[in-house]
Each structure stands twice: as C-alpha cells, then as structure tokens.
Structure 1
Amino acid sequence: MDDKQLATQASGQAGERLAREFLEQQGLTFVQQNIKYKFGELDLIMKQGEEWIFVEVKYRSSGRYGGAINALGNKQIQRLKRAAEHFIQLNHIDAICRFDLIAIDDDQINWLQNAF
C-alpha cells in the first residue's frame, strides 16, 4: 500500500470513529463496524430501539467535487444493500431496517436518515 492509500484508509477510519461517536450521542447503540463480504462492506451497524440501521460513512477533508454527501453512487448503494441483506440473513434478523448516510466534510457532520 502506498502513502496515499494509507492516508485515505486512516481518514476513513477517523470518519467512522466520528460518525459512531455522533450517532451514540444521538442515542443509537453501536452493534458492529467494518463488516466485509466479497460483494460489499458495511461501515457501521447501529440500533435505535428495535430498528437496525446500516450506516454508510463518507468522509472528505474538503468540499471539493461535491463533498461527502454526493460521494455515494448507485453501484455502491446496490453493494451496500446486498451486504446488509446477507448480514440480516446470517444473523436471523426479523426487524425494521434502514440505511442512513453520515457525510462528513472536515468536521461538519450531516446525518441523512433513510438515505436510500
């Protein structure tokens, strides 16, 4: 891995940490993070009461190129849905689920509930 990849990975981990702390401050309960399957990855899994929340975290150090809130494409959304479906099946979850987006530009956090 080169220096740029390491820096990107470190900033992504920092973004996930900020997102988790923010969501916990909003009353959500942490379940798991960085669940990886060959067809997709789940950044954060949280719960709010009985509802399961699959959270995609997008972190950008600047607002250039549309910022973090515009960094999620249709192909990625499909991979996230597939990974969440797999997680739900593996864990025998029978509950309401939703997908949220945490978009972080510098230290500005935007929380989009039911993002897709």
Structure 2
Amino acid sequence: MTGRGLHLRERNYRCRAGEIDLIMTDVRTLVFVEVRYRNTARFGGAAASVNTAKQRRLTATALHYLQRHGLDTPARFDVVAMGPDNQIDWIPDAFSAQDF
C-alpha cells in the first residue's frame, strides 16, 4: 500500500468497539483499512465479507480513534481483499461512515 502513496500510521488498532487492521495517511486523508482473506468465493469472497455489521464496527472504532487522538481530518474506509489465487483487490473508499 505504500506503493500507492499511503503511509502507515498504526497497525491493529483495538478498542471496545472493534479492531482496524491498518491506519494509513494519504496526503491529508486518514485511511482506515480492513484486510480480508478468503480461501473460497463460496459465500461471496473476501470483499463481500465486509458486511453491514462489520462496517458499523469499523465506523465505531474509527470514531474512537479520531476522538482519542483529537483528530478532525477527512477520513475514508478502504478494503483490501485477497483470495486463493493470490489476487489482491484494493477498494478505495469502499463504504461511507455516513451510511450509519
């Protein structure tokens, strides 16, 4: 992801609401990244596993992070999905916190 201009800020951020795999910066935007792997596409694959419930937990965790660090900056949620073929799909701005 650093090849895409993102810079690592934190890994595996945890709070009561949940966990965020990677927190990156992209110029002036904070990027919360969920990394998913599925060895089969039987139930929709890795990207599909970031369902509404998971999105809510990620949003709550991201809000906790922003409040804890006193940040008022643009943010987005990206998903990195990997499958058994070792293909990596990076989905920038995969969902919006405004949906919740």
Which bracket does the TM-score occupy, shorter chain normalised? 0.7 to 0.9
TM-score where L is the length of structure 1: 0.77
Which structure has the highest helix share of the two? 1
SS at match of 1:64: coil
Output one character per residue of 1:12-68: Cα deviation in whole Å (capped at 9) or x when no partner.
xxxxxxxxxxx1111210010111112211110001111100001111123232111
Larger radius of gyration: 1
RMSD between superposed Cα atoms in Å = 1.0
Which aligned pairs between 1:69-84 and structure 2 lie closer than 5 A?
69-84=47-62
Q: Which amino acid aligns with 1:93?
A: L
Between the aligned residues of both structures, percent identity stands at: 36
The residue aligned with 1:100 is: 78
Which structure has the highest strand share of the two? 2
The residue aligned with 1:57 is: 35
Stretches of 4+ aligned residues off by more than 6 angstroms: none
The residue aligned with 1:111 is: 90
Corresponding residue pairs, total: 94
User: Structure 1, unaligned stretches of length 5 or more?
Assistant: 1-22
The residue aligned with 2:98 is: none
User: Structure 2, unaligned stretches of length 5 or more?
Assistant: 96-100
